[in-house]
Each structure stands twice: as structure tokens, then as C-alpha cells.
Structure 1
């Protein structure tokens, strides 16, 4: 052994892996472990490479969440095969395979705030499978019930497989005039470190119980089928998604709808770029972000057609833009669906009906930008807890392009009508969410926008 160590100090020591021996897997199938470890170990051509590969394998196996401990031992191979090594992997199966969590969150694409709970069971079949069920309830009568299954890569599969069935009810009547109910299934077809490909199939019902929807929205009410393919490219080199102080992140999402007969046909593209620059004092950092998105219906005469309301862009919501990575979503100081074009609601002869108002319709094009300056507070107790302060500013706008609206679209007018906000606040990062207590001052808004100048409390989960 001492001679081997001296040779390693002098230079590379050639070696190749002869065999991988797995011990202790009483429940987990052996080829599940082999599928995770084979690629890093095959790449090793020197003893130095093999040591690095062993550390990588150890991390990979622990990340599966199937084992309480992982121990890797390197042993010499058969004497008749010089320069060979055996890798012995000893695992200890997880004693507690049942887990659960509960939390409160805000989401720009759902109702303002919600309480969510989930329960998970690992390795029921021994394939590294993860079964979970979850339920979420929004304070404005949004409910979601879902169940999912995750299978890691094994045998002939080139990537992990995920499947989730869900029932979602969203009561938008506080922000719009319709309610939405969806029953659907999503399948994860391919996923690796940077790429993700999903298929979505959902049967949706949009209805207007108050019967005050404007004419442009009434044509969209009723039943429709969503059948879409969604590809996401995500590169996140930030040191933290909750409080980034250095690095960058880029997310590009392309979604094509209309794969099944009589389903909604559309093309949607989202883009998000973030950059965090450390300043070198008080753990201070500048965060900059730019998000954009566009959606078009597909088919003949698509510019004369309209897009489905759930697929449109709506800005605002009780959500921190720092955490809202993945496209234009949030603006500090603006309420859920608080920005966009509008149309007067229909008058009805009902003395018990709500007063006639304006229907925010969202848009086919959306752009947002943000700047955030964060820094530590003087107290050591705050620094130990990660509690810090920030100054921020954001701006954004949405526009309608379909139904021939593109003919009157002007880039100059679009930029001039950007809504904007500045503010200051305290941030409390946790393992599950980012809590912000902010004071928002609205610099620019329009009469029909839904905004509030004053204090906001948000519980945001990184996306």
C-alpha cells in the first residue's frame, strides 16, 4: 500500500475496474445500483481517477435517498490480471422509508397563498421507486389532489421516468370571471442535469357561474383538451436559489400543444436569465434578471385566432421575483393577475350580482426585469440565521398580439407602458421557502391594474 501511495505521488498509476461487488442491498435490486455507478467507474483509467469516481459514486447513491450509509472500498483485482481493481460497495438500506412534509407557499400561477402537504414512500418495489401523494388548498378555494411515481434509470431505460395524475380546481372569481377544473396526467419522458422533456394530457372545464364574462372570454368557456410536449433547458450555476450571491441561471422552455386530435393548438416560448454579482462586503450582492415569453395559436389564420386563457401570460401575485425562475410571472407590488389588457364585463339584470367591473385578459407577450441589492444586517444573530435586508426594483408589461392586435402593436408604446415598483424589505431564508416582508412603492401603474402600495408578506418556494 505504501508503495502504491508513493507511485501515486510521482504520477498517474494505470488501473481498470475488473468487478463491482455490491453488498447489503436486501431490498434494492442490484442493477439499480449498478446503473448509477457503472458510468463513473468505467471512465477511470488511473488510480487517481478511480478515487475521484468513488467519491462521485458515493454522492450519487446517497442522493437516491434509499440508503442510510454508503461505504466504498477499493481492492486489488485477480493476480492473473495485472493493473486491475475491484470496487466493493457496501450499503445500508434506509430504516425509515416513509416521510412527509407540510408548508405554506405562494404561487403566481395559482391562488395567492396555499397550504400544501405531501407524504412519500421510498423503494416499495425495490426498484428505487418513489411513491407520493399530495394535497394543496389555497385560501381562495383552490384545491389540488395528486399522486405520482418516480423510477430511476435502470435496465434498458436511458433516463429516469416520472408520472403524476392530478385533479385541480381553481376558483379565479376574485381575479377573473371564470372557474377552472382540470383532470390530467403528466409524464416525464427524459431528464438529466440540464434537460427535461415532459408530456401533459389534461381535460379542462372553464365555466362562468356569474355569467358576466366579456364576449372575448365567453368563446373560450366550456370543455377543452390539452395535449402538449414541454421541453426545458435549465442551467443554474448560482450558489443558492433562495439567496443567490454569485453565479448565473438560464432557463428556456418550449411548449407545443395540439398533439392529440381536437386539442388546443399553440406554441409557447419562455426565457429567463439571472445573474448574481458579489460585492465583497457584508455578503452583499447585486441580482439582475430578465424574463420574456410569447405564445401563439397554431393553425390556419392563427393571427386572427385567440389563445386559451390558462396558457396566457399574467403578471403579478404574492411571489418574490427572485424565486420565480422560469419565465415572466411576478412583479413586486402587483396582485395576482394584476397587469394586462382588460375588457368590460357583461351587465346582467340581477340585483344580487356583483357590480360590473373589468376583466383582465392577460397577454400573448410578456417581459419583466428586476434588480435586487441584498446585504447582511449588522447583528451576528441575524447573520447566523441568514436573515438579511434588500433593496429592489422591478418592471414589466404584457401585450395582446392575437386577434389582429399585432397590427397596432408598437415596441415604443410597449416599453413606455411598463409598470414599475421599488421597495425595501427583510428576507428570511429557510430550507423550504424564502419569506419576505417588503414595503413596495408603485412608480407606475394604470387605473385598471390591481396593485397595492404598502407592506407585503410573501412565502415563496424556489422554482
Structure 2
């Protein structure tokens, strides 16, 4: 925000002086500064001006909002972003606060290189009024892009990913993007999307995206997934998000070795679902929380349409808290998450939930960063625990050779729960502390269970609790601007016969959600 000397003088006529002593003290300070040969900086003048305003409320209302500098951006968009902030302002202090809020809102649109808001005196015939002048500089190059190579250690795969963004094409602050990813031996994805922060009378962002995804799960669950999807964001606010998904999905088994449970779900399926998310995150950091809490609750209903659509109800929640302990920047992070998915419709007890929508656990993703559901459990490989089923036997190649077993398919679970405790602390070397590198010790546990397909009646809560998998360990965390790198020693405390858990040194790359 900029307030030049002339406008400050005009506003000064609206401010009643407290007493003559304040003026004398300010004059003495200015004279002292002049004796030293240096005039007071403009920043100090503004700070003193605002301090006086904070102790002397001055009645002031906004007469007009003037917008300058917008060539492509529609004026209605800028007005809609700032009008709410200035509408209720009735004092000088509230107008200044509203200007700060309006500045932040315009910068969040990501279509301006700079935003400047100044206050000018209103018309002489309307005392105690001000005109808000908003000057914007639109981005010079609306087209941006990036490309990079990423690794997923838990899946032992690499991917080449790139994105291209085109800002403010229609003048509504719209952002169009095209993304692509090619993963060696696992994932290929292409997508096109658009986000419009405001469209005429609509006050919530409008988001739409079309994507084509191919995922190879042959190593874990003996199927390959091809998916063409449409995503439409219906509501998006600070705490609430409502979206509609329409997906055509195809499951195939090129190896012809999948287990009976996987074979029953091969083929084409349609998914039409509504997904609602409530999220509150009051933590001081996503990469290293030291205080605060976070809560996420997600509800999804699938099957809007005829019997050809997959029908299920999915509910999950995630609760986190960080407690500072007061020494060596030590903090205790704790969290618990759970989720359940069940089919609905006539004969739902005998129906199977979609294998692609079930919960899976494992991988080296940090439970401190991941927020959104029960997925992460250190010490186990990707899809490395939970219900499994033997794959089809490989027939002998010639007479006399024995039939060999190709392993088991991970089926995922309809009920999932995880919990963790993580103690983070500074390392003794100053070099590490300045770089944000710190240590931690952790303990985590989790479990999966299958409820659909006539398994609900045989489910035992006692057995579910007693079969919890657990790990403990310690390590060093290297935070970066984009993600969190961990070098951990994990000790698997408990696993079952067909789980894939391994004690030893593991590397983790996690990005906050």
C-alpha cells in the first residue's frame, strides 16, 4: 500500500490531535534527526502515523473504487474481489485493514506482477470520505511451464512430469493448465483443466478437469488400470469443498495370473460420485509442525445413475495435533486416522467394493506430512500389508517340472486405521539448525480389514485390534521448499505372514497435502 505525502496531509486533517505534548515530542525528534544530517525515513513516518491512528479512531467511509492498469482483466473481477473488504469499513483503521486484505486477495489470483492500493481524499462536498485507487500490473508472460524427473522409492519407479499454464485467457482470472506424466513401469497421465475464481454472480471458484490416466499395479495386485475422468468443482471455500466425479475405468490383467477376487472385477465400469471435504489446518508448518492442530473429514457417495454405476459409500477422517515441549525446539506430533467403505443397494452384504477405491497402506511417505486418510505406515512396502489372495498358479513348462507360485495379490481393505507419534528435535550442530535439518523418533501402527463380500458378519473387532501392525524408528529430516526428505532407520515390531515389512535404513520423500 502506498500513501504519499499529499494524501497523508489530506488525511491528517481528519485526525484530532491528542494534546500538544505529542506534537512537541515529534518536533524534537525531527529536529534531532535533522541535527544528525539524516531525515526520518518514510517508513518511520508511516509507522508513527498508523500508531496515532490506532489510538484515535477516525470516522471514514469509502466513496469510490478506481481501478487502473488492467488491460485484459475485467474490471468486474477486481471489484468483486475487493468490494466485500471495503463495504463494512467505517473508520480510517478499518479502511487500511481492508486495503491490506484486498491486496492479498488480488495477489492470490496469480495474474498480476504487482498490486498497489492508495487512498485519496474524497470529494470536497462529502467530508470524511476517501477514494480507493487500485493499480495493477498484469503478468507480462501469461504462459509458464516446468518439467522435472521424480522418483518414488517405495514403488521403485521414476517419472517424467511437466505442466503448462496459461493465465487470464478470458480476462476472468482464469488459469488453464495442461499436465503430463510418464512413469517408467507404472503411471502415465495427461490432463487439461481450468480454474475460474469468479464467474459473474458465482462467488466460489469454478474448477473443471479432464484427465486420462494409466496405472500399472501388476507387481502388487495383478491388474492394470485405464481411466478417463471428468472432475467438476462445485463448491470451494476456506473449509469446505464439494466436487463431482464422472469416471470410466477399465481393469485388465495382461499376465492372466490375477487372483479370483481381482478377476471378478476385471472389465469396464462407470463411477459417478459426489465428494465433500471439510478441512481445518491450524498448524504452524506443514513440513515441521511444532504447534497447532489439523482435521480433515471426507465423505463420498458413488452410484448416481442406473445399476451400471459402481455404488459405494466412503467415509474417512484424519486428526493431527502438535505440542511444543519447550526445549531444543522439541515438539510431539500425534495423529489418528480411519476410513471405511461399503457398497450400497439391494444385496449389499454380498457385494464387493471396487478394488480401486479400497484403502491401501505402506510406502515410505511420512505420516506427519500426509493429511487426508489412513494410507501411510513406515517400514512397509507400497501395498505391503492387509488382505491378500494367491495368484493363479503358473503351469509347468515341460514334464517333470514343478508348478511354481507367482505370489499373492494385495486386495486392500474396506476398514482402515492408522496412528502415530513423532518426536522432533533440533540437532546440536548450529549448521544443521540454520538449515532446518533436525532429528526425530517415531512410533506408528495400522491395520486393514475386508468387510464387503460376505465378510461383514465374520468381522471381529478384537482380532482387528490384536493384529495391528507396528513400527518404530528414528532418523534425520531435511526439509526443502517443496518436500520433506527423511533418512530413517525403521524397526518392524509386528507383521503378519503375508506382509512385506522390512527393518533397516529407508529413504522417504514426502510433500504436504
TM-score of the two chains, using structure 2 as the length reference: 0.86
Task: After superposition, give the CA deviation of every residue in 1:271-299 in whole Å (9 maximum; x if it has no partner).
Answer: 00010111222222111010100001110
* Pairwise CA distance, 1:114: 3.9
Q: Given that residues 15 and 58 in structure 2 are in contact (C-alpha distance below 8 angstroms), is that contact kept between their aligned partners in structure 1?
A: no
1:459 paired with 2:469, answer no
Residue number among 185, 189, 207 corresponding to 1:162 in the alignment: 207
Greater C-alpha Rg: 2
1:284 paired with 2:330, answer yes
Relative to 1, partners in 2 of residues 1:110 and 1:196: Cα closer, same or farther, differing over 3 Å? farther
2:14 corresponds to: 4
* Distance (whole Å) between structure 1 residues aligned to residue 97 and residue 462 of structure 2: 55
**Equivalent runs, 1:376-395 vs 2, <5 Å:** 376-395=426-445
Q: Given that residues 222 and 262 in structure 2 are in contact (C-alpha distance below 8 angstroms), is that contact kept between their aligned partners in structure 1?
A: no
Of Structure 1 and Structure 2, the greater strand share is in 1
Relative to 1, partners in 2 of residues 1:191 and 1:324: Cα closer, same or farther, differing over 3 Å? same
1:260 corresponds to: 305
* Pairwise CA distance, 1:458: 1.8
* Pairwise CA distance, 1:116: 2.7
After TM superposition, the structure 1 stretch with the greater mean CA deviation from structure 2, 141-150 or 324-333, is: 141-150
1:339 paired with 2:385, answer yes
* Pairwise CA distance, 1:105: 5.2
2:132 corresponds to: 87
1:219 corresponds to: 264
**Equivalent runs, 1:84-163 vs 2, <5 Å:** 84-103=129-148, 114-163=159-208
RMSD over aligned CA atoms reads: 2.0
1:396 paired with 2:446, answer yes
* Distance (whole Å) between structure 2 residues aligned to residue 324 and residue 177 of structure 1: 26
1:327 paired with 2:373, answer yes
Runs of 5+ unmatched residues, structure 2: 1-10, 18-52
Q: Secondary structure at the match of 2:356?
A: helix
Relative to 1, partners in 2 of residues 1:455 and 1:110: Cα closer, same or farther, differing over 3 Å? closer
Relative to 1, partners in 2 of residues 1:312 and 1:165: Cα closer, same or farther, differing over 3 Å? same
Relative to 1, partners in 2 of residues 1:15 and 1:107: Cα closer, same or farther, differing over 3 Å? farther
After TM superposition, the structure 1 stretch with the greater mean CA deviation from structure 2, 81-90 or 263-272, is: 81-90
Relative to 1, partners in 2 of residues 1:140 and 1:317: Cα closer, same or farther, differing over 3 Å? farther
Q: Secondary structure at the match of 1:244?
A: coil
* Pairwise CA distance, 1:5: 4.0
1:295 corresponds to: 341
Q: Secondary structure at the match of 1:155?
A: coil
* Distance (whole Å) between structure 2 residues aligned to residue 78 and residue 89 of structure 1: 18
1:307 paired with 2:353, answer yes
* Pairwise CA distance, 1:108: 11
After TM superposition, the structure 1 stretch with the greater mean CA deviation from structure 2, 224-233 or 276-285, is: 276-285
1:357 corresponds to: 407
Task: After superposition, give the CA deviation of every residue in 1:220-252 in whole Å (9 maximum; x if it has no partner).
Answer: 110000111111101011111111111111000
* Distance (whole Å) between structure 1 residues aligned to residue 249 and residue 404 of structure 2: 26
1:318 corresponds to: 364
After TM superposition, the structure 1 stretch with the greater mean CA deviation from structure 2, 267-276 or 380-389, is: 380-389
Q: Secondary structure at the match of 2:261?
A: helix
* Pairwise CA distance, 1:109: 11
Task: After superposition, give the CA deviation of every residue in 1:146-179 in whole Å (9 maximum; x if it has no partner).
Answer: 1111111131112111111111111001111111
**Equivalent runs, 1:52-63 vs 2, <5 Å:** 52-63=97-108
Q: Given that residues 153 and 508 in structure 2 are in contact (C-alpha distance below 8 angstroms), is that contact kept between their aligned partners in structure 1?
A: no
* Total equivalences in the alignment: 463
* Pairwise CA distance, 1:103: 4.5
